[in-house]
Structure 1
Amino acid sequence: MSSVCASAQAAAQCDPPRAARTLPQPALCLQRAKIAPTAADGGAAALFAQAKSQLEAGRLDEAERALDCAEAVIGNPGDAGLRYELVRRRGILDFRREAVPQALTRFECAAALSAELGDRAATARDLSNVGAALRRLGDFRGALRSLTASLDIQRARGEVSGAVLNNLADVYRELGETEPAMRYYRDALAAYRAKAEPVEAAHVLETMAEVALDTGDARQASAWLQEALAAYRADGNRVYELRVHDGLTRVALSQGGIAQAQRWSAAALALADAWKLPLPPALQLQIARTAQLSGNTAVAAARLREALAAVPEGDPMRVALLEALAAAQESAGEAAAANATLREAHAKAIALARAQHDRQLDWLRVRFESAEQQRTIAALESENRLRSAQFQQRTLMLWFAGAAGLAAVLGVWLLLQRRRQRERLREEARRVRHEEELARYRREADALAEDRSLLQALLDSRDDALCLLDAEGQVLAVNRAGRLRLGAGDEEGLVGQPLAGFFDEAGGHALASALERMEDSAAQRLSLATRQGRPLIAALEPWSGGDGLVVLALQPSDAATTAGAPIAATAATDATDATDATGAEPGVVVGAASVAAADGAADAAMRDGFRRSLVELMLATLEAWERATGTGRLELAEKSRIWRVNIDDGRLRARALERYLAVSKLPRNPRWRDVLRSAYYVLSRCDGLPADSRAALQQRVDAVLAYTRRDAMV
């Protein structure tokens, strides 16, 4: 009975409060669903089956209504097994709706409930779902941990499912480890075939074909796709059969077989027309590519526009379809339309990346809130234990007071016992507090990732007003004191805005000029005035982490300081005064000066070598980019988004990048991390780069990294 109650309480924590979701009347919703209530579960099992069929058909709202009806039928707390099934299926629904953080929470709760119920097979399945959700959130280490735990449970039971093996293979594939991915795919294929599940085995064959095609083995990919196609045809599954044509067309195009690709495209169109099936966007893309390579650019463009009209806004395939449409428009001589389509594709790609980032931040927020709740619970438990120990101590003291009338020997003995008991209680209290602190640190270390929210919290803990800016003056983080100094409230978002907009016109120009000089100065101080006329002193210095970021400290200034005028700052040290202050003999001073001069010369030589290596790396990066792409530095700056492109006298220039093409122009505080990022961008994006150029560029990168590993460069 206690296990059932605990399971019901855990399931309630996985669902929002009842006020946030209105449940229907059980009798009415069962009548609408055409399900008769049963004595065993009231019709909940039939509702779960209906929700599953609705989910497989893509009708997510109908599936949610079926689950709401099942929850109303089950009641609160209800049967523990039915509550578990409800939580698991709501997690699957959230996963299909791309609400991955919420789905992860429900999957973890389902795993906890199945463990309490003692259902090892269900626990293994839930851990596999947890791994799939973590993989979607980018936590590959956590995904491998959950999937491996699921696999261990299944192996202990002697029933290994192909699903967990396939999920493990997907994780290794996304990590770029092809060999272990293919090993798990083969194990999943064998598991499905052993259980006589040909359709699932065909799914694995499709994925294996994609991996083979990505690695250049088009012949093996074609063989696996043909095998999957035969399985789908034998099963009569026309939807999956149509999907295989996408891979077969892609394989034919990769081998240069345009005629074969045309045959597969025609077969796909005939199959879709015969069974009145919608063409998948990926297949539409391959058919359009085939038409364009065959010289039918207009047909390809029409096919791509038709696919774009059917694809939802949030589908990642829109980016690939738009890029293919831009290529078709360019081939047709429609340069303006091609540029507009490419811009739209770029905007869609950025939106998808931001959506993924938002999901990860949402997940981190949920993890943080969960960690805080656990910390609060643990603190209350620790306080309860301490109070219990104090109560026991008071009880012992009363008992000792009552026994004080005993013999002197007994009194002495009791006194010693009392002292020993007090020492044990103090030791126990210290141990409990110590264990609690260790547990809290471990939970916070496991639950929190290092991101901008942590940086914000760190800045907010400082009393002085601080801002973190990029090289262009955009605000990356600002603490509460900084917002107060700038005259911005907590509700006004500063992050992502130019800081110059919070000062008057003169102060904004002065700040912009100071930021342009930051690469050649160690620190600057300015007198500025906010839009409200409040005078401030701004101290700028490079961030120790590099990347061209600037730390700006704001202090109040007296009214006599003129807004926008730079304040002189002296950093030189009088060598004569320093020598006199030491009180050392002349010979000792000369010796120390000689050692210092030698060290300074060594440091200067090393720094000169580093600066030369940095310029050589930037020149080699541009040369490799131009050789691989046929474009110049402006295209590199625009596509990599590492360097800013400016407009000077009506023409585009990458002034920041150009300063890294000569040692004489190199800034005093070079953004060496951006140079390395540029090199890595070229190495990762330019597939057509010759092997000798790639090796030479890598040598330049290694040379710069060798300098950065030394203490003088870090």
Structure 2
Amino acid sequence: MSRCPLFPTLALLWTALCAVPGAALAADAGDVRCDAMPARALPDPAACQSLSGLRLAADASADQRAEALVVLAKSRRKAEDHAAAEEALDCAESVLAGQGAASARHALVRERGNLSYVLDKMPEARAHLECALSLARAAEDREAIASDINAIGTTLRRLGDYQGALRAFMRSLDMQRAQGKVSASLYNNIADVYRERGDHDDALRYYREARRIYLDDGNRRQSAHVLESMAVVEMAKGRPREAAGSLQDALAIYRETGPHEYELRATGRLIQAALAQGDIAAAQRWKASGLAVAASYADPLPAVFQWQVARLDRVSGDPSAAVVRLRSALPNVGEYETEHVELLQELAQAQEALGDRVAALDTLRRAHALAQKSAKAKYDTELGWLRTMFETAERDRTIARLESDNQRRQAEVRQRTLLLWLTVAIAVATMLGGWLMLQRRRQRERLVEAARLARKEEALVRYRRETSALAEDRQLLQALLDSREDAVCLLDAEGVVLAANRAACIALCVESRGLVGAPLSERLPSGEGDPLRAALERMEDATDQQLDLVLDDARRLRARLSQWPQGDGLIVCELSVPANAETIDAPPTPAAPEREASTEPDEAVDTAASEGASMHDSRVREEFRRSLVELMLSSLEAWERATGTGRLELAEKSRIWRVAVDDGRVRARAMERYLGLARLPQNPRWRDVVRTGYYVLEHCAMEPEVRERLQRQVDAVLAYTRRNALV
């Protein structure tokens, strides 16, 4: 069963690669091109003569020098001196300089693939091995072809492409059978694929074939490795007794042939088999045997041995010894090795057995994170290689298509020339049509812009007219207030003085210019303005309030707050001196003239007329209140559509409505009262509603119909105020 990538991009690339004939196995010699290999900086061939271990004849040819350098690189690779091995290969490539015999170039590329495989660079290894395969096919070297396909299959298995690896191995098996000799390593590789796919019976069958060939060739150590792999399969099948038998045979061979690392690894697996059978005594004997061998072992102990000994210590009731052993073993195991995760998991179990659940949980988290990191790195590597293969396959397919089309193009030159001229004519016509459409669009945009400017100019004219009317109204209001002898101020809902007569300025000891436009509370000493502000907040639902004010010179004034008779949200503040306070230097307020008595018929007529007028005013007033609510709702709706924000943002940015924290929530309570007719204050602040409408009209982009409707609602509110009150 093929192993499918988990990521969508990986799945897409995988599907595309599967659609390319022979992409996984490089079935044709042209499928993989060696010129696609990345370029590298090469040393000077003369400097390569001094490499240690290099034996060359004085008259050696370039091919002979390159082959000697490849042999030197192979020996250094086996000695795990990877940097020196790569240096020798670079020298071999520099000596060949892209020329030389096919056998020399094949040996060089194949050894680069082997070195990349050892360094766990699977994509680079596969690229080098497939390049070597193309060279072997070009040279028709069937033995090298079979060997290269086998190596490619091994690389595919490391990349997680088990289906591709199995195809490669089977193809190599067919070729080797045709030659009359099958290598044991090929059988072993096929068995490894079946084991990792979970097909245990086929894995055991191929492992037995590999072991038989190794024994026939006298390679007992490799046969012991096969026995170890067979034991792993037997353990996976739940047959620890058979696994223990295979491991004991392998251990006997390792004791004869060495090295100690293999002996300790087999001992660790024997401990695992004994624990699987529940035989603690046998596990203890294997532990003692392994520790006796480890006493003379200078290198770090194998991870599998450390893991199983730690398991035995934990099962035997000594988890502290298991923790010590596992912590000493972890630094010697690579982060991306499977044994690292297994050691961490065993460490977590030992810590839990000690009662340290916090440390156990932390260790499990580390193991889980490491497993995820390892899986992601593996899939990233596979994704990168698949993407490279996809791009290479697409490039090769494009090249092949272009080469096949080139033959037809020679006969189609005239037709293509005519097609070219036709294309040019169509392009010119298209450009001309596009230019005409662009000019038409720009003309429409200019007309729209001219209409917008005309509407803007009309609005400016209207605003200037409203400003002029407002100035006249203010002058008239000021004249009316100055005609009164009592001290009177006209305030808005926030307490800002809109107008004040001379008597009020004298009472507050301030000039008119310094009083109008500023809050009245600023003319009071610190702390004395709070009662005034509180009273102003209550005026929306009150008709009359009275309070005493203390001035800077300790004089006291009595302020009587009442609503503006026309109900437009303004407040009349009448100032007077309390009876028990000092009088202010102002002319006395004349007594109101007494009304003359009227006859009864006249009173009846006046009463009827006043009732009719009251009913009319009530209906008009109700229409005005409804207009206010509609204007506020329309302004909020236009704001939300244009900005995507709500009422709180409108209140904050316009600075018209106050935002406060109420029971842990940020609210604009004053604004919210104007969003419903039932909650609308008795004395609404219609100026703030109109200001809100103008703010939305100025700062929000909206459709012309919406703008006109909002402007009509503003004009309707203003029309009522002009009929009933002075602004």
Q: Shorter-normalised TM-score: what interval? A: 0.5 to 0.7
Q: Tell me: CA distance 1:11–1:232, structure 2 relative to 1, closer, same or farther (3 Å).
A: farther
Q: Tell me: CA distance 1:560–1:274, structure 2 relative to 1, closer, same or farther (3 Å).
A: closer
Q: Is the 8 A contact 1:25 1:72 kept in 2?
A: yes
**Residues 1:61 and 2:83 are matched in the alignment:** yes
Q: 1:259, CA displacement in angstroms?
A: 2.3
Q: Tell me: CA distance 1:265–1:9, structure 2 relative to 1, closer, same or farther (3 Å).
A: same
Q: 1:313, CA displacement in angstroms?
A: 2.2
Q: For 1:309 and 1:45, how far apart are their aligned partners in 2?
A: 39
Q: Tell me: CA distance 1:241–1:376, structure 2 relative to 1, closer, same or farther (3 Å).
A: same
Structure 1 residue matching 2:295: 3-state secondary structure: helix
Q: Which residue of 1 aligns with 2:113?
A: 91
Q: Which residue of 2 aligns with 1:296?
A: 318
Q: Which residue of 2 aligns with 1:176?
A: 198
Q: Tell me: CA distance 1:34–1:171, structure 2 relative to 1, closer, same or farther (3 Å).
A: closer
Q: Is the 8 A contact 1:308 1:318 kept in 2?
A: yes
Which segments of 5 or more consecutive residues in structure 1 lack a partner in the other structure?
Answer: 1-5, 395-556, 566-714
Q: For 1:188 and 1:50, how far apart are their aligned partners in 2?
A: 30
Structure 2 residue matching 1:342: 3-state secondary structure: helix
Counterpart selection for 1:71 from 89, 93, 102: 93
* Mapping of residues 641-652 of structure 1, within 5 Å: none
Counterpart selection for 1:387 from 409, 413, 420: 409
Q: Is the 8 A contact 1:199 1:231 kept in 2?
A: yes
Counterpart selection for 2:43 from 6, 21, 24: 24
Counterpart selection for 1:33 from 47, 52, 62: 52
Counterpart selection for 2:370 from 343, 348, 366: 348
Q: Is the 8 A contact 2:235 2:243 kept in 1?
A: yes
* Mapping of residues 434-453 of structure 1, within 5 Å: none
**Cα shift readout 1:569-625 (whole Å, capped 9, x = no counterpart):** xxxxxxxxxxxxxxxxxxxxxxxxxxxxxxxxxxxxxxxxxxxxxxxxxxxxxxxxx
Q: For 1:240 and 1:145, how far apart are their aligned partners in 2?
A: 31
**Cα shift readout 1:637-695 (whole Å, capped 9, x = no counterpart):** xxxxxxxxxxxxxxxxxxxxxxxxxxxxxxxxxxxxxxxxxxxxxxxxxxxxxxxxxxx
Q: Structure 1 stretches (4+) deviating beyond 4 angstroms? A: 6-12, 391-394
* Mapping of residues 493-572 of structure 1, within 5 Å: 560-561=641-642, 563=644
Q: For 1:56 and 1:558, how far apart are their aligned partners in 2?
A: 75
With normalisation by structure 2, the TM-score equals 0.51
Q: For 1:74 and 1:269, how far apart are their aligned partners in 2?
A: 52
**Residues 1:313 and 2:335 are matched in the alignment:** yes
Q: 1:9, CA displacement in angstroms?
A: 13
Q: For 1:34 and 1:177, how far apart are their aligned partners in 2?
A: 46
* Mapping of residues 37-436 of structure 1, within 5 Å: 37-38=56-57, 39=60, 41-390=63-412
Q: Tell me: CA distance 1:564–1:135, structure 2 relative to 1, closer, same or farther (3 Å).
A: farther
Q: Tell me: CA distance 1:155–1:282, structure 2 relative to 1, closer, same or farther (3 Å).
A: same
* Mapping of residues 460-479 of structure 1, within 5 Å: none
Q: Tell me: CA distance 1:123–1:53, structure 2 relative to 1, closer, same or farther (3 Å).
A: same
User: What one-letter code is carried by the residue in structure 2 that aligns with 1:204?
Assistant: V
Q: Is the 8 A contact 1:11 1:113 kept in 2?
A: no
Q: 1:11, CA displacement in angstroms?
A: 7.1
Structure 1 residue matching 2:99: 3-state secondary structure: coil
**Cα shift readout 1:324-346 (whole Å, capped 9, x = no counterpart):** 11111111111211111111111
Q: 1:279, CA displacement in angstroms?
A: 0.6
Q: Is the 8 A contact 2:76 2:85 kept in 1?
A: yes
Q: For 2:80 and 2:54, how far apart are their aligned partners in 1?
A: 21
Q: For 2:36 and 2:249, how far apart are their aligned partners in 1?
A: 43
Q: 1:215, CA displacement in angstroms?
A: 0.9
Q: For 1:32 and 1:7, how far apart are their aligned partners in 2?
A: 35
Q: Is the 8 A contact 1:289 1:324 kept in 2?
A: yes
Q: 1:392, CA displacement in angstroms?
A: 12
* Mapping of residues 607-686 of structure 1, within 5 Å: none
Q: Tell me: CA distance 1:111–1:9, structure 2 relative to 1, closer, same or farther (3 Å).
A: closer
**Cα shift readout 1:387-430 (whole Å, capped 9, x = no counterpart):** 23447999xxxxxxxxxxxxxxxxxxxxxxxxxxxxxxxxxxxx
Q: Which residue of 2 aligns with 1:518?
A: none
Q: Is the 8 A contact 2:70 2:89 kept in 1?
A: yes
**Cα shift readout 1:189-227 (whole Å, capped 9, x = no counterpart):** 112222222111111111001101111211211111111
Which segments of 5 or more consecutive residues in structure 2 lack a partner in the other structure?
Answer: 1-27, 417-637, 647-727
**Cα shift readout 1:51-70 (whole Å, capped 9, x = no counterpart):** 22332333322322222222
Q: Is the 8 A contact 1:131 1:144 kept in 2?
A: yes
Q: Tell me: CA distance 1:78–1:342, structure 2 relative to 1, closer, same or farther (3 Å).
A: same
User: What one-letter code is carried by the residue in structure 2 that aligns with 1:258?
Assistant: I
User: What one-letter code is carried by the residue in structure 1 that aligns with 2:284?
Assistant: Q
Structure 1 residue matching 2:335: 3-state secondary structure: coil
User: What one-letter code is carried by the residue in structure 1 that aligns with 2:88?
Assistant: A
**Structure having the higher Rg:** 2
Q: For 1:142 and 1:280, how far apart are their aligned partners in 2?
A: 32
Q: Is the 8 A contact 1:297 1:331 kept in 2?
A: yes
Q: Tell me: CA distance 1:108–1:562, structure 2 relative to 1, closer, same or farther (3 Å).
A: same
Q: Which has the higher contact order (CA 8 A, sep 6+)?
A: 2
Q: Which residue of 2 aligns with 1:404?
A: none
Q: Tell me: CA distance 1:53–1:230, structure 2 relative to 1, closer, same or farther (3 Å).
A: farther
User: What one-letter code is carried by the residue in structure 2 that aligns with 1:272?
Assistant: A
Q: Is the 8 A contact 1:135 1:143 kept in 2?
A: yes
Q: Is the 8 A contact 1:130 1:143 kept in 2?
A: yes
Q: 1:74, CA displacement in angstroms?
A: 2.8
